[in-house]
A and B are shown apart, each in its own frame.
Chain A
């Protein structure tokens, strides 16, 4: 009986934890205000992969790890921009986080500060770790996250889809759940 109770407690706990980890964040849509330069890759690259992160979000570390793995294979074709959310009222210490150190270590990534999350908001990246993949014409080909659960490294639908797209194949899905902290508290209308 005690064993059963203990097993049940542990099972429920794990179920809750799994459920938490598997609960995706919100994915927004691209605002009309999002300019083309925000959506087109540089000329030498065929794809533009934009990611929005919250520099304090611990879950995004897994997303960066997956991004780093993607970059190993797709750096030649894909230009990657990471928009780092920075509220106006914060100073530079806001960016002094392990996540940023990790980000700085990822090669071939263009890091841009996203003041008050405006760009992420325009791109509809509401959850830290969320990515948008645009083709040469600035067409959105994929949106979602790179992890299979919250803060969990490993294969995921997002990385699989992006790899398929970049290699010219048809992915099963053009979107994937994104797991991470909310970059901004609520959707703010684009100016």
Chain B
């Protein structure tokens, strides 16, 4: 790498040397170009002055030297000049120049009469040729001189040596002096080239230094320029509108923001630019903008008069239909004799609006907090860390009977008898882990006096005064549950009312034949009594005295008369029919009684199969015309701890809905089918009601448990049946209520009840139902 760098540096140095040498040779070419032309004119001048004419007696003609100077001199300069023009710096150019130069020496020697001084031109020319810094340039020059002398010495000695028989060494002598000079000139050229190389090295060093220096200078220049730009534009880049005033209030300088500020303020704009008096502008604007602007001017005057270090003035400014607020910071300007004060304007309209909005929001928040605080609904805010109440409202205090101070020392567990701290935390875990955004459940709260009341609790996470908390909105369900109970009862009565006609019909049938039988009894009983009376009479003392045969005949006659055989046969049957009819009525009445019973708050063990049978009986009149009822009840099904009255309503709803579905979707005269099943599975008692009605699309299945949702015609249903049934199964018994429906085929409602609903968690059951529905 280093070697490569050295090689590269050597190449650059050689390149610089070659370039400089070539430049020097080009310069020397130009010098010789001028010199050759000058010599040409000089030669002509010499010829004209020294030998203008040649004479013959009195007559004269132009001397041949004049023509020779013109022609030969012209010939000598022609090619060199052309080469210098076309090929400056080329070796051929300088070789031709060298040749021409030494031949010029010969010409000038001729023209100057062979003066010994003229011969110095040769040596001068050689010295000049050394300017080329090229040893080879002497080759043509020295060769020409030497060959000229040698040739003429050999063949024309008198022309150069003035004698006929000169020694041949004279040519070498002449050439020797030339060579003598040439040697020194060659040494000089070598020195010159070395010097040039050193200069190249120096230039290279200078270039490197220059590059480095230029880089530093450029960097520094850039930094200085950037710093200057920063300083020039820093004011312009600020959002604040800044102007600098002198002690009279005249504007000395403004920034870009001020210019925009002035231009955006319309009529007063011209008064807010440089060299205008800002104080006068404020005074003038005060008439329109009001006292605030004059206060600004007054503040500026106070600062100018050094009565205050810095003043901050906030004032409104009417800009067209808009109101804008500005904060003006007036500070003394330090460091300049002329400038006195700096006025920086900041548009604080947004801040003012935000502040006002904040105040308004704060007021609203305070009001809202007050409303919440005074709300009769209970609101509890308790810490996520230790569950201790952070804040409670008046509703909570009133509902629990504790005062605020007492509640703030308590935790929700203290109010919920069925929770301890551990179970309550487990209950909150889904909310804590953000698995749900809100936790909703029903529980029992205990008042200060120990009285309990049902509540609906909605819990969500929040932050109260920087503390992570849970916020509980608690609703007392006492009234709601009462209403629900009443509503349920009403709905039950509604169902019963709907069934009343059918029930009456069901009761009417047995009652009719009971009545007929009683009528039969009424008609036959006198005969039976008469028969009995007659027989008792015959059994008396007087009858004993009669003949047995006559008595038998009389008896037979009486039996025949009273159609005893008929009575004997019909009366037991009638009694049996009556008994059966009464039994049926009793069943119906019992079922009705069971259905119409408002129930109790406490659960009791009940046989669901019997309940299902009762339901089928009570509702018989609703389904017997459209469907066949098939009961597939598991006789091994255990009794269940439940609210029987409420569950009866569920079964009744299911059967009536199934019958209605079949009635809507089956053609006249064709019976559908309803299955009522019960079976025991996985510690649960499962009750299914399946029908062959039309089924439901998914959109309806999703909503069947919604309150007031119904697909029946107006007047036929309230939409409360399945909603209440769902509530009974899920919330009251901790069971599940599922629907499977295939459109066009039928529906299956499946109720799963835990054997002991006390063990089930209603909330879990609800979430299970919701998940299944989803």
Contact = CB atoms under 8 A, between A and B. Distances in A.
Interface of A: 2-3, 6-7, 9-10, 13-14, 16-18, 20-22, 54, 56-59, 61-62, 65, 85, 87, 89-90, 117, 128, 147-149, 151-157, 160, 172, 181-185
A152 B110 contact: yes
Given A22-B159, A128-B55, A151-B114, A172 B164 contact: yes
Nearest to B95: A3
A128 B60 CA distance: 13
A58 B50 contact: yes
B57 A185 contact: yes
Nearest to B166: A155
B106 interface: yes
A154 B112 CA distance: 12
Contacts of A62: 113-114
B56 A148 contact: no
A6 B65 CA distance: 20
Contacts of B57: 54, 85, 87, 117, 182-185
B241 to A, nearest CB: 80
Nearest to B61: A181
Interface in B711-743: none
B113 A61 contact: yes
B113 A152 contact: yes
A57 B50 contact: no
B114 A157 contact: no
B323 interface: no
Given A10-B100, A155-B163, 14 more contacts: A13-B68, A14-B107, A54-B57, A61-B50, A62-B113, A147-B162, A148-B163, A149-B158, A151-B51, A152-B113, A154-B116, A172-B164, A181-B55, A184-B56
B58 interface: yes
Contacts of A147: 114, 162
B162 A157 contact: yes
Given A3-B96, A61-B113, A157-B158, A181 B79 contact: no
B159 A153 contact: no
B114 A17 contact: no
Contacts of A85: 57
> Considering residues A6, A65, A182, which has the most beta carbons from chain B within 10 angstroms of its beta carbon?
A6
Contacts of A160: 162-163
A43 B162 CA distance: 33
B109 to A, nearest CB: 8
Nearest to A155: B162
Contacts of A6: 75, 78-79, 96
27 contacts: A3-B79, A6-B79, A10-B72, A10-B100, A13-B72, A13-B75, A14-B106, A17-B110, A22-B156, A22-B158, A56-B55, A58-B53, A59-B51, A61-B113, A62-B113, A85-B57, A151-B51, A151-B65, A151-B113, A153-B113, A155-B162, A157-B158, A157-B164, A160-B163, A181-B55, A182-B57, A185-B58
A154 B106 CA distance: 15
A153 B158 CA distance: 12
B666 interface: no
Contacts of A54: 55, 57
Contacts of A156: 158, 162-163
Q: Which 4 A-B pairs have the closest CB atoms?
A: A58-B51, A152-B114, A155-B162, A148-B162
Interface residues of B, number: 40
A155 B50 CA distance: 21
Contacts of A185: 56-59
Contacts of B162: 147-148, 154-157, 160
B54 interface: yes
A144 to B, nearest CB: 12
A85 B60 CA distance: 14
Given A117-B57, A182-B55, A21 B78 contact: no
B55 A17 contact: no
B122 to A, nearest CB: 14
A13 B71 contact: yes
B578 interface: no
Contacts, number: 120
Nearest to A2: B79
Contacts of B100: 10
A172 B158 CA distance: 14
Contacts of A59: 51, 54, 113
B103 interface: yes
A184 B202 CA distance: 71
Interface string B88-110: 00001000100110010011001
Contacts of A13: 68, 71-72, 75
A153 B110 contact: no
B64 interface: yes
B427 interface: no
A19 B163 CA distance: 17
A17 B68 contact: yes
Contacts of A56: 53, 55, 60
Contact of A157 (B52, B65, B163): B163
Contacts of B458: none
Nearest to A117: B57
Interface in B112-134: 113-116
B521 interface: no
B76 A10 contact: yes
A148 B114 CA distance: 10
A101 to B, nearest CB: 13
Interface string B321-347: 000000000000000000000000000
Nearest to A172: B164
B161 interface: yes
B79 A153 contact: no
B63 interface: yes
B85 to A, nearest CB: 13
A57 B53 CA distance: 8
Nearest to A8: B75
A89 B59 CA distance: 13
Given A3-B79, A148-B158, A153-B115, A14 B103 contact: yes
A160 B107 CA distance: 26
B337 to A, nearest CB: 80
Contacts of A17: 64-65, 68, 72, 107, 110
Interface in B12-66: 50-60, 63-65
A98 to B, nearest CB: 8
Given A57-B55, A153-B114, A9 B161 contact: no
A90 B617 CA distance: 184
Nearest to A156: B162
A153 B159 CA distance: 11
Contacts of B53: 56, 58
A7 B65 CA distance: 20
Nearest to B58: A87
B75 A10 contact: yes
Contacts of A16: 68
Nearest to A66: B162
A91 to B, nearest CB: 13
Nearest to A57: B55
A15 B612 CA distance: 155
A182 B58 CA distance: 10
Interface string B513-546: 0000000000000000000000000000000000
A10 B103 contact: yes
Contacts of A65: 113
